[in-house]
Structure 1
């Protein structure tokens, strides 16, 4: 009887984990974010950024909403870089020109925050995206504070800046 009880408990826990994973990243989660390499060759280790607000911003070079957000993200980073880090993630993993397009993106918007093309690592760790652009904001302790799908307003950037202060 005890064996069946333990088996049912294990099956319930597995099912709960599967349902939670299927639901994707949620506010309040504290996921392990992968260590990746930025386009400039430097390592991006979000875990080492504890104590700062971290914004992971997913974009595609042909996304008009992403184009609208890029200068605002740079401004957010520039004005708060002592308390906040933005990490750009190009999602065009199946495009043979991904690296070139990312380099052009960085130059066009004069981005000074780290940008990576390692979307697969983020997707594997944090789940599939449900739109574009997507901004995942992590608080100083590494917990998800907000997830914005679609272009965000200036007020949202102000809220993120306030969170960092």
Structure 2
């Protein structure tokens, strides 16, 4: 089941890349679906009939995952705090670009915002690759392991990195960002959350 889910996840990403490349190559604006403001902001594209993801105003679904160190963490453990829920993988170039920015943000604002970086472990070659990547990058925010890609499905993640912004009330308060975030974007989202 785990291998099937990882294969399905990778196949979906591959299809999105192919659809994006074909759409860009044809250059025909008349055949394109309207792009949402969220997608324009992030520079991402959405595959036809892809789920929209969770919406602003929805309660963020609770989950339980283990950290890279083996500790059990629940999203509800962070109720009362602002949370950036970021989904990533080591093999994803935009994720690798974003991680140092998140570390810089974490160091500056860890008292105000919790970053939960959820690794799509079911799509990784090995857990050891994740550990090595995190250690080499010096990333100190919590790294959660989605071994069965459950959170991937629960949060309707079709492209990575994807980040959800959860307020102190446990509700998604800002539109998700699909694509890498900059430090400045993170500050804007932090200030928008309550």
Establish whether TM, by shorter chain, passes 0.5: yes
Tell me how far 1:31 sits from its aligned partner: 2.8
Q: 1:131 to 1:124 in 2, by over 3 A?
A: closer
Unaligned stretches of 5+ residues in structure 2: 1-50
Distance verdict in 2 for CA 1:157–1:24, change over 3 Å:
closer
- After TM superposition, the score normalised by the length of structure 2 is 0.66
Work out which of the residue numbers 70, 78, 103 in structure 2 matches 1:74. Answer: 103
SS at match of 1:132: coil
Q: Rg: which structure is higher?
A: 1
1:142 and 1:23 map into 2 onto residues whose CA distance is 20
**29, 32, 41: which one pairs with 2:58?**
29
Are the counterparts in 1 of residues 87 and 117 from structure 2 also a CA contact under 8 Å? yes
Which residues of 2 match residues 141-160 of structure 1 at below 5 A?
141-146=169-174, 147-160=176-189
2:168 maps to what in 1?
140
Aligned to 1:101, the other structure's residue is in SS state helix
CA contact (8 A) 1:44 1:114 kept: no
Over the residues paired in the alignment, what is the CA RMSD in angstroms?
A: 2.0
User: Mind listing any 5+ residue stretches in structure 1 that lack a counterpart?
Assistant: 1-21
The size of the alignment, in residue pairs, is 142
- CA–CA separation in structure 2 for the residues paired with 1:161 and 1:108: 27
Q: TM-score, normalised by structure 1?
A: 0.76
